Amino acid sequence: AQPKVSNPNQPSFLSFSSPFSREKTESMGKGPGLYSEIGKKARDLLYKDYQGDHKFTVTTYTSDGVAITSTGIKKGELLLADVSTQLKNKNITTDVKVDTSSKLFTTVTVDEPAPGLKTIFSFVVPDQRSGKVELQYQHEYAGISTSIGLTANPLVNFSGVVGNNCVSVGTDLSFDTASGNFTKLNAGLNFTHSDLIASVTVPLTNTAVGAELTHSFSSNENTL
């Protein structure tokens, strides 16, 4: 049964996870990462790979390394399916997916055209307003992601994180140029230790969050 602790789609999310609940957490990466990674490990622990519907996935590879994946999910009497293809050419990766609604999802990723930089271009056919360009930059002490919709009055999103691979804090905001209003304004905090991962994300609207972390040098134990 899938544990229901918190809905990760809600704007506020407080999560804790221990690397010993599953396999040992992978080695801590260099730098704080991106804002989207705050809380990801805890959400994956609670929700990833839990499937209540019938699902099948088949992946094949061509001789030149092209990956083709077919996925089908049966929800009651409804069957949802898609076929996706991934093409890699040096530092350029192209992902193309077609679903049962005849929608074509395309994402082109250029990895490191400059050190630490990644460029992502995505669009959905026939949705003419779906085009988006995103730039990601990761540094030893910062991670920045900004995207803009390819429309006359685009939605602009910016997120930034500062810190290191142990403690990081960041913000995520979206601005609608059509209305001139901020549609999203959130903040997040992430703490990573060898035996504890704690994350919190909240909307910046009269919200206060407090926490206390103590470490005992004699017993080498942490208390949060």
* pLDDT category of residue 129 using cuts at 50, 70 and 90: confident
> Does residue 173 carry a pLDDT above 90?
yes
Average confidence (pLDDT) over 173-189: 94
In SS3 terms, the chain reads as: CCCCCCCCCCCCEEEEECHHHCCCCCCCCCCCCCHHHCCHHHHHHHHCCCCCCEEEEEEEECCCCCEEEEEEEEECCEEEEEEEEEEEECCEEEEEEEECCCCEEEEEEEECCCCCEEEEEEEEECCCCCCEEEEEEECCCEEEEEEEECCCCCEEEEEEEEECCCEEEEEEEEEECCCCEEEEEEEEEEEEECCEEEEEEEECCCCCCCCCCEEECCCCEEEC
The whole-number pLDDT of residue 168 equals 93
Does the structure show a pLDDT above 90 at 153? Answer: yes
DSSP-assigned beta bridge partners for residue 179: none
Q: What was the pLDDT predicted at 13?
A: 58
Confidence of residue 16 (pLDDT cuts 50, 70, 90): low
pLDDT given for residue 196 in this prediction: 83
- For residue 7, is pLDDT > 80? no
pLDDT band of 71, cuts 50, 70, 90: very high
Among 11-25, 37-51, 72-86, 175-189, which stretch is predicted with the lowest mean pLDDT? 11-25
Q: Are 107 and 92 in contact (CB under 8 A)?
A: no
Q: Residue 5: its pLDDT value, please?
A: 44
Q: In the chain, what are the domains?
A: 35-47+54-215 (2.40.160.10)
Residues 96-123: tens digit of each pLDDT:
999 988 999 999 999 999 999 999 999 9
Using 50, 70 and 90 to split pLDDT, how confident is the model at 222? confident
Greatest mean pLDDT among 45-59, 162-176, 202-216 = 162-176
